[in-house]
Structure 1
Amino acid sequence: GKMGKRKDLSEFDKGQIVMARPLDQHISKTAALVGCSRSAVVSICQKWSKEGTVAYSKLYKSAMKVKVLCRNPDDYIRETSKDIQRVPRNYDPTLHPFEVPREYTRALNATKLDRIFAKPFVASLDGHRDGISCIAKHAKSLATVLSGACDGQVKVWNLSKRECLRTIQAHEGFVRGMCSRFCGTSFFTVGDDKTIKQWNMEAPGYGVREEPLTTILGKAVYTGIDHHQTEGTFATCGQTVDIWDEQRSSPIRSFSWGVDSFSCVRYNPVETELLASCASDRSIILYDMRESAPLKKVVMQLRSNTLCWNPMEAYNFTCANEDYNLYTYDMRRLDTPVTVHMDHVSAVLDIDYSPTGREFVSASFDKTIRIFPKQSGHSREVYHTKRMQHVICVRWSMDNRYILSGSDEMNIRIWKANASEKLGVLTSREKAAIHYNQKLKEKFQHHPQVKRIARHRHLPRDIYKQKRELREMKEARRRKEQNVRKHSKPGSVPLVTEKEKHVVTVVE
């Protein structure tokens, strides 16, 4: 039949023509299907395409906008099968209420676990036949340690294998002091036989007799020795403080300040020309190797047994005193100590700083070892065992992880500097967990429950009773001073602080 005109087409037919165009259907087939001419199909498609574009644009503007989800595979896919599963997290604080209570609970649990895993004792080195009188660290090797005993015997130890490498009969009587040369090739010893001996750090060959490299016979007993940090000179103390050159058999300089004897001499590790000594007249004397006379001294109420310089702060040193306390001084202002460290219940015999300079360890006649932060008046840790007797000497290892102590019952003990530290290799997750728990404990360290658990230590009965007795005596003295001040003329009884009452005078 005859093709109908375009205007005779129904809306349905027009819709079919428009829908057929996107399908790439041929115009002739579309015209035959609908029953119209080809020109009608072309004109309808053109008209409807223009109207449809305008209609669709209006519809798009009025319609709701939809955001397409797009995520980076690196944020949720593991790189290898050994990685932990990545968990998507939203850190919006409104979605995570009670953050601080949760952190407090974690800090409390971390503090409890810290005390549960506190196993500080590592090993014991036995082999000496008399009490340990001194310990010296190797200048270059972490694993090598030297020890001297009261019978004149010197032993060289390997800490990694926990075995004795060499045994030397160095002196007759006590070994009073030891030190390693700054390069680590040899070490020096002094003893009751009035001799200074230099020994090779390497053991002699098989069958070769052990002989010192040099021997210097002195006029009096030497009680201490220390080596310069960078030069071939060393200092000894006895009746005087002597400065020696390794190539000479007589001292190049001697210092004395009307004192009978000295018990300790130490070089400053930072300002290497400075050194300090503890004297029997209760004084601590400072020297400069470039001067011909001592610099100044501070006289205390009781005698100081030994001292140690802070390896990171050139002007600060700490002395171990007979009055059960330790005193940290700034050498520029000796009239008042910077800090008074109290906790021991008997005389403090030795002290050594950690390589970081933030803490130090002390050995006492009360059979304990205590670790003090440098700015704290009380110890953060106390170590003791049933078998350990009077602790004569103590050293902090150069890797800041271990503490060595020598005591009367002929043993050298190795302790962890951090009692709950895990030894061995740590995974990255363990390191992250330890670091996180440490920060939590620091954040909540002043909360009563956390502080109580962190500070609690079990002490031997004797030490516990002595601490209680000392506390009662101190409280009685304080109460008596208050009563005297209350019933005296105002200003007649001055208020003396704890730092000032232990210093007698400073002599320039």
Structure 2
Amino acid sequence: MALEEGARSCLLRSRHRLEQDIMPSYLMDDMVSDGVLTGDEEARIKTQPTRKDQAVALLELLLRKDNRAYISFYNAMIKQAYNDLANLLYHDLPRPSPEAHMRSSDCCTPHVQTVLSEGGVPQRPVVFVSRPELLNRVREKLYRLQKEPGWVTVFGMAGSGKSVLAAEAVRHHGIIEDCFPGGIHWLSIGQLDKPDLLVKIQSLCFRLEQSLDSQSLHRPPNSLDEAKERLRFLMLRKYPRSLLILDDIWDSTVLKAFDIHCRILLTTRNRSLADSVSGARYELEVASGLDESKGLEILALYTSTKVQGLPEEARSIVRECKGSPLVMSLIGALLKEKPDRWRYYLRQLQQKQFKRIRKSSSYDYDALDQAMAASIEVLPDEHQDLYKDLTVLEKDIKVPAKVLSVLWDLELEEVEDILEEFVNKSLLFVDNNNKPYLYYLHDLQLDFLVEQNRTQLESLHSKVVRQYQQHYRDGPPTSGDEECLYWIRFLTYHMAKANLLQELYSLMFSLDWVSTKAQLMGPAYLINDYVEYGPILDKENCEVRSQFQEFLSLNGHQLEQRPFPDVVQLALSQPHTSEVYRQALLQAQDRASTGKLYFEWLNKSSVESLSRLVIHPHQGSISSACFSQDGAKIASCGACKTLKVFKSTSGEKLTEIQAHDDEVLCCAFSPDGCQLATCSSDRKVKVWNVERAMLLRVFEEEHEEQVNHCEFTNTKKRLLLATCSNDKFMNVKLWNLNKPSSQNTMFGHYEPVNHCCFSPDDSYVSTCSNDGTVKLFQVSSANEWKTINVRDMFAESDEDVLVKCSTWTADGKRIVCAARNAALVFDVATSDMLMEIRTNRLSTVQYCHACPTSNLLAIAFSNYAVELWDLEANKKMADCSGHLSWVQRVQFSPDGSQLLSCSDDQTVRLWETKKVHTSSAVCLKRDSDVLFNDEGITVSAADNCNRLQVRDGRTGSVLFQSEEMPSRIRCTCMSTQPSAVALGQEDGTVQVLEVPSGKLLATLQGHTKTVLHCRFTRNGQTLITSSEDTTIRVWRWQSGECQVLQGHKEQVRCFSLLSTDTRLLSWSFDGTVKMWDLESGEKLQDIEAHRGAVLSCHASPDGCLFATTSADKTAKLWHCESWQCVHTLGGHQDCVRSCRFSWDNRRLATGDDNGEIRLWSVKDGSLLRICSRDGKDGMDSLHGGWVTDLHFSPDNTLLVSTGGYIKWWDVERGEALQTFFTTGTALKRTHVSSDFSTFVTIDSIGILYILQRVV
């Protein structure tokens, strides 16, 4: 029913005054108790940031409610002493509805007090905390007894507050008047034998008869049957429509004595007791714990303190006991007498010293351990033994019945029946939201079991392992169901606890186990195992433990991919001395004998990995990552709008929060590690509780543009948060988390501010802006102290100088800022520049951070690199290579031992600062040539110093290295007769050098732009080059003669020599394909093949056909004689970048920029297969990038493709057979030996791979 017009009008008239003065949180408790406000509505109102916002929200809700809500609101104001405000509403009070069940009358009226007192209902405890939602649910069940007799069962574990709840439910005028006008009668039961039960019923009958006239008094009944009949007569004839409350029932036989067709409310730990009686039955479970706010309220009431004034230990006590009302009442009563013992009682709780947590009270048990033991002792002996086995469970872990079926060696159905009994007796909890059901212990129950069975823990865990081994003797479960996941996750835990060290070594030093667990659970749990059990494993072999941990840490991001990669193939890339590699090689050789493909990285010893851990936390670029103060956690955020927290040791995810509505640009831990701040493109700043993943504060009104950076003070002495944004004027702010608005705004920048940070002593804030300056502000006054004009350091250029970030050295005397391609070091006192670190002009400094414990400076670059510099020596100390895109952030751990970096490549990498060093490995460019011969493999490629290198592919040794060239080398090719190497450069020059002497044999001038491709003919006498200048040149390089093939209108990126070496096929971005006679230079054919650029071309081995692919998303087959288009192959959704005929001329493979590969019939142009269709291999495209190269095996059964990595396919089925993940990505081509056993490529970060098939 809608709110009456008069009441609605009154609310609207008085709204302003009410919003100004009321405290909604005080009023809402009473309104929830009255049933006019739901718990969800209360929670939504409480999420409003200020008291006034909460008041506005409450009044808005009231206007949509009915008359009962208005009356309840009025009564709540009277109760909370808002008398003046209540008078505003009094004259328009609606007349209450006679049908209303839940009246808002005062529960403690004299009538209610009298009824409850006569019935023996216990008074409220001295310390009482309302549980309105639960209370309303009990009352709702009691209202069902209004018309007919029945049973309401309130059940829950020991100490959950059942009795207090039952008493409070009937402390209500409406309940008594509407449902139980005959009265309320309370009887405490407990664990009784028959004589004691008879005494209890006798005393109840005596109490009931006392209220009648003296003639009704009878002698006490002498037997249970007589007592039952006497009670039946009294309840039905003398006290009709009364409620009998039976508190703490344990036994169904006791309950049957009260099966007398009346209204009964009972409290019990055993849910199933009421199944033994007749009549209507209703039940309600009491949760084992209160939420944190209610728990703190109990402790505050006991200690006569405000919740805000409680020590931090109070929160820890509530968490430790999971909000158990019993435990908090026991501890609260103790603290009332000894208020200085917070830490002591917390320690007792943590150490499971339950006997010391005791207090005389109305509760039946003096100490917590007695209350726990009582529930277990009523079980049959055999079930007590089974319950003892639950001691081995981890806290907060839920297990399916099937796990316990293995542990107890019983049929699943029998186990489910036993567990149901445990649940019914509140000895175990069940999660019904899952199928199959999952079972778990309350922390207090588990702590009690552990304390009781401390001397048997090893044997109990040993039983778990032995039962598992017997049940899974043929291998671990792999189904992925709840039971399987339990064993895979916790088997190592049980082995360690059982002290079964040999079993633990065998399991964790097994590549099979690594593969199984990684596939089912991801790498983080595995890494965590090696960290947690490292001290145990190291006793057997610390080297092997280190090898397995390193393998997982550096390949974890690969192990998160789906489909799951082949762990054996990944492990083959480990060093030859590694146990991981040894096991992988044995397995690869064994599987290769059955036709499985594996490839060994021959030259891997020449490459070193400096990362300690690689984590892939987000889909999308990562904007920011940071350490917690203790270095144990890392937070990261980015384009996916989420905030994640994970362990720095293993990468195991601890928390994930959907943080903002747009990209999250920065995250920062508070100095105590308890809070995290985030800022975003959505213009909001948010502060989160780390442990509970709960939003604490939102600052959303003051910044009007995206907020670029946020940072807390370094100490919690005076906690402040600094933020900066793209706002025009008010772009730097300081926030006190206890205030709804900013504490100070710093003025001075008139362009976007990219970064802000506090000095080590928190006296100053430095800010960096697009206006080319760094400003230092005093924190206490928010006044500008000084300006460092970074723009003046780049006077040679007219371009804008954007200062990206700044960082203070540990002593606070110097400040380092990043701008363009430099990191500049300034003296804080004088503003003089002391030093500059300039990098190459093609990369920019994205971020820098000074180590808090040393002279090291970490610098992040746009060219994917991270470097460490010594600020005292002005010397580069280390290269940290491995990222595949721009590095956005670097940060040292607080102790300086680790460095993290995050990148647009979606990874966070961890580095140990003592182990990284300046790499001696030279990066090669991807434009390369390879010669395969009987003696070995020879590779030529330019390096990152623009020198040409010729290497022995098997050993990695350098056969020849040229001097640094003045113009960038863009292509290379080799000849065996004579032994020479050619290189083409950006300035159009071509050189031919003798190998290995390095003697310059020829310099060929003629091209006017970059030389893009070069190739010797088979006899080595002729060199052919193509260029960005649209021409192809045919050189008799020894004499210098040159023939120019002209006709293309755009750059010629590639060409192909046909089998006779007399004809040449060329293609261009102009969409044309041309055939040339090499002897005469005559153009034999010229066709406009495609509407877009021609990206690749290949002639069939028999010389009859050739194929072209294009940016127009098509491939075409052409006849070599007629030059007619035989087939147009459509269907690709992106540029078709590569093509290759099979050796039998029957199939054509094409690859596109979405990573898709298609196999076509040459005969009729029909589509035979689409590879990669089943699922993505990488996080991005189907092939981790463009498909740039394709090759068939000589027998035409296999296909190798090149993209973000290398894949091998079954041609007949179109299925992937193997994948080799390179460290870098964006491979340009793979060189393949004639027998299809050796594969050579170079990745985007310059690593050379010589891969050989394992046989």
Structure 2 length normalisation: TM-score? 0.24
- Cα deviation for residue 291 of structure 1 reads 3.0
* Counterpart amino acid of residue 316 in structure 1: R
Partner Cα distance (1:137, 1:255) in 2: 27
* Structure 1 residues 288 and 466: CA distance shift in structure 2, 3 A: farther
Aligned to 2:575: none
Aligned to 2:612: 122
Whether 2:881 is the aligned partner of 1:401: answer: no
Aligned to 1:282: 772
Whether 2:682 is the aligned partner of 1:193: answer: yes
Alignment match of 2:839 (pick from 318, 340, 343): 343
SS in 1 for 2:723: strand
* Counterpart amino acid of residue 146 in structure 1: A
Alignment of 1:190-339 (within 5 A): 190-203=679-692, 211-218=694-701, 219-220=703-704, 221-230=706-715, 231-238=718-725, 239=727, 240-270=731-761, 272-299=762-789, 300=791, 301=794, 302-311=801-810, 313-322=811-820, 324-334=821-831, 336-339=832-835
- Cα deviation for residue 273 of structure 1 reads 1.5
Partner Cα distance (1:256, 1:420) in 2: 41
- Cα deviation for residue 319 of structure 1 reads 0.9
Partner Cα distance (1:283, 1:129) in 2: 34
Query: Residue deviations 1:404-443, cap 9 Å, x none?
Result: 111111111122213369xxxxxxxxxxxxxxxxxxxxxx
Aligned to 2:632: 143
Aligned to 1:358: 855
Aligned to 1:458: 922
Partner Cα distance (1:287, 1:328) in 2: 18
SS in 2 for 1:379: strand
SS in 2 for 1:213: strand
Partner Cα distance (2:869, 2:967) in 1: 19
Partner Cα distance (1:363, 1:177) in 2: 16
Query: Residue deviations 1:228-273, cap 9 Å, x none?
Result: 1231211111122111111112112111215122000000013x12
Partner Cα distance (1:359, 1:261) in 2: 29
2:617·2:907 contact (CA, 8 Å) conserved in 1?
yes
* Counterpart amino acid of residue 196 in structure 1: V
* Structure 1 residues 258 and 148: CA distance shift in structure 2, 3 A: closer
Partner Cα distance (1:414, 1:464) in 2: 25
Whether 2:863 is the aligned partner of 1:376: answer: no
Partner Cα distance (1:255, 1:329) in 2: 22
- Cα deviation for residue 343 of structure 1 reads 3.2
1:266·1:275 contact (CA, 8 Å) conserved in 2?
yes
Structure 2 gap ranges (5+): 1-604, 795-800, 927-942, 948-963, 969-1255
Whether 2:414 is the aligned partner of 1:414: answer: no
Partner Cα distance (2:923, 2:674) in 1: 42
- Cα deviation for residue 465 of structure 1 reads 5.3
Aligned to 1:449: none
Partner Cα distance (1:404, 1:224) in 2: 18
* Structure 1 residues 246 and 456: CA distance shift in structure 2, 3 A: same
* Counterpart amino acid of residue 305 in structure 1: K
Partner Cα distance (1:343, 1:469) in 2: 20
Partner Cα distance (1:367, 1:275) in 2: 29
- Cα deviation for residue 469 of structure 1 reads 9.8
* Counterpart amino acid of residue 303 in structure 1: L
Partner Cα distance (2:876, 2:803) in 1: 19
* Counterpart amino acid of residue 464 in structure 1: N
* Structure 1 residues 253 and 127: CA distance shift in structure 2, 3 A: closer
- Cα deviation for residue 466 of structure 1 reads 8.5
* Structure 1 residues 226 and 310: CA distance shift in structure 2, 3 A: same
Query: Percentage identity across aligned positions?
Result: 17
Query: Residue deviations 1:436-457, cap 9 Å, x none?
Result: xxxxxxxxxxxxxxxxxx7845
Q: How many residues are treated as equivalent by the alignment?
A: 314
* Structure 1 residues 414 and 455: CA distance shift in structure 2, 3 A: closer
Alignment match of 1:178 (pick from 667, 670, 673): 667
Query: Residue deviations 1:88-133, cap 9 Å, x none?
Result: xxxxxxxxxxxxxxxxxxxxxxxxxxx9896412221113111110
Partner Cα distance (2:843, 2:966) in 1: 11
* Counterpart amino acid of residue 922 in structure 2: H
* Counterpart amino acid of residue 199 in structure 1: W
| Higher share of residues assigned helix | 2
1:355·1:399 contact (CA, 8 Å) conserved in 2?
yes
1:342·1:377 contact (CA, 8 Å) conserved in 2?
no
Query: Residue deviations 1:262-317, cap 9 Å, x none?
Result: 000000013x1211000111111111022343112122232220111112x11211
- Cα deviation for residue 318 of structure 1 reads 0.9
* Counterpart amino acid of residue 136 in structure 1: C
- Cα deviation for residue 375 of structure 1 reads 2.2
Q: Which range moved further: 365-374 or 241-250? A: 241-250
Partner Cα distance (1:215, 1:372) in 2: 38
Structure 1 length normalisation: TM-score? 0.58
Query: Residue deviations 1:296-350, cap 9 Å, x none?
Result: 2122232220111112x1121111111x11011111121x311111235411111
* Counterpart amino acid of residue 944 in structure 2: Y
- Larger RCO of the pair (alpha carbons < 8 Å, separation 6+): 1
* Counterpart amino acid of residue 213 in structure 1: L
* Counterpart amino acid of residue 297 in structure 1: T
1:341·1:379 contact (CA, 8 Å) conserved in 2?
no
Aligned-CA RMSD value: 2.7
* Counterpart amino acid of residue 410 in structure 1: Q
Partner Cα distance (1:314, 1:470) in 2: 43
Partner Cα distance (1:268, 1:471) in 2: 45
* Structure 1 residues 470 and 310: CA distance shift in structure 2, 3 A: farther
1:157·1:165 contact (CA, 8 Å) conserved in 2?
yes
Query: Residue deviations 1:452-500, cap 9 Å, x none?
Result: xx7845245499359989999xxxxxxxxxxxxxxxxxxxxxxxxxxxx
Alignment match of 2:656 (pick from 150, 163, 167): 167
* Structure 1 residues 298 and 470: CA distance shift in structure 2, 3 A: farther
Partner Cα distance (1:164, 1:455) in 2: 32
Partner Cα distance (1:125, 1:292) in 2: 39
* Counterpart amino acid of residue 741 in structure 2: S
Aligned to 2:226: none
* Structure 1 residues 191 and 419: CA distance shift in structure 2, 3 A: same
* Counterpart amino acid of residue 909 in structure 2: R
Structure 1 gap ranges (5+): 1-114, 204-209, 422-453, 473-508
Partner Cα distance (2:847, 2:879) in 1: 15
1:342·1:378 contact (CA, 8 Å) conserved in 2?
no
* Counterpart amino acid of residue 186 in structure 1: Q
1:255·1:293 contact (CA, 8 Å) conserved in 2?
yes
* Counterpart amino acid of residue 691 in structure 2: E
